[in-house]
Amino acid sequence: MDVVLQSRSSNSMAAEPEEEAELRRGPWTVDEDLTLINYIADHGEGRWNALARAAGLRRTGKSCRLRWLNYLRPDVKRGNFTADEQLLILDLHSRWGNRWSKIAQHLPGRTDNEIKNYWRTRVQKHAKQLNCDVGSATFKDAMRYLWMPHLVERIHAAAATAGGDPTMGDTSCASGVTSKAATATTYPDNNSPASAVTTSRSASSGSFTSELCGEEKNLQVHGSGEKTTSGGDWMQDADQEFWAMHMQIQPDDGGLFHVDHELSGWVQGFSDVGVSADNLWSLEDIWKMQ
DNA sequence: AACTGAGTCAACCGCCAGAGT
DNA sequence: GACTCTGGCGGTTGACTCAGT
């Protein structure tokens, strides 16, 4: 499993050839994780190459940084994306495209890597199911008129049933979803190993704001109390049903979807607030309709 | 039970920008 | 200005899991 790098790296971060030959690649071990966590707890992060050497890790600085940011950070949130997170990703991606780090800045506890993976594996899958390109107007139409309203519905339904407990916004985080790879490292409590060292793993509030909208809207959804039921499957039952239903819908010749079911009210709502298919949809449009 | 294909995601790679010399 | 070093970013890969056969 553990691979020893054999003079492979060629980038500028490479160390001396003698040292390079000892650099490790591949999945991190528990020992390496703990070493990195402990070192950062004592000395802080940054200066990754120096950090890697000082900590005695036979890893590149880049590798240490990535491991820390994407996995070991105490505030990193794991598990399924909540409906409100999905909604925000769709919205922000429509504005910024593949600016994953920028998008991640607006989803506390989520990493750019995670969002990127979500987009590539899940969103693009839906585009494929709809026989259109993820960047096409057709798919944007589908997201705007079908998916995003669906997510908003779910958010409100969850809020209604959860009774508005704002602390419940992060059920996916606490659910201990199995991270299958967790990359050769298994932790008894299913938490980030950082919790073993840093005592205060602050549960993020599950609240985020979209300051892009004209007026800042707090998108905290009171208890998107969805339960991540089946051990790690990213798509909740409601989503499964939703996509099973809409995969049957095909755009007309003009690439437009005809919505003739319960979501048609949403579409009417869009026109009521002056949103046309020519405009880029946004969360603001969605929330205007509330 | 064995095999296979699809889905997932951690980790790596190449490129680039900014800071320092 | 040229060069080196470092960190950050987006794209890609490959190991792994799991459902279906």
Q: pLDDT of A29-84, one tens digit each?
A: 888 999 999 898 888 888 888 888 888 888 988 899 899 988 888 888 877 888 78
Report helix, strand or coil for A116: helix
What is the span of the domain harbouring residue A222?
83-180+205-288
Report the DSSP beta bridge partners of residue A4: A24
pTM of the predicted protein model: 0.63
Show residues, CB within 7 A, near nucleic chain B: A 8-12, 24-28, 59, 62-63, 66-67, 70-71, 78, 113-114, 116-118, 120-122, 125, 179-185, 232, 234-235
Measuring alpha carbon to C1', the residue closest to nucleotide C9 is A101
Residue at which a domain ends, from A38, A72, A106: A72
Amino acid at A148: M
Regarding whether A45 and A169 lie in a shared domain, the answer is no
- CA closest to C1' of C16 belongs to A181
Which letter, b or e, does each residue of A49-64 get, where b requires 16 or more Cβ atoms within 10 Å of its Cβ? Answer: bebbbebebbbbbebb
Pairing of strands A209-210, A217-218: antiparallel
Nucleic strand C under 7 Å from the C-beta of A50: yes
Q: Is residue A199 in a domain?
A: no
Q: Hey, is A173 helix, strand or coil?
A: helix
Helices A148-162 + A237-246 axis angle, to 10: 150
In a domain, A200, yes or no: no
Exposure string of A100-120, with b = 16+ CB inside 10 Å and e = fewer, is beebbebbbbbbbebbeebbe
Number of structural domains chain A divides into: 2
pLDDT in tens, A173-195: 333 333 333 333 433 333 444 44
Nearest residue (CA) to C1' of B10: A183
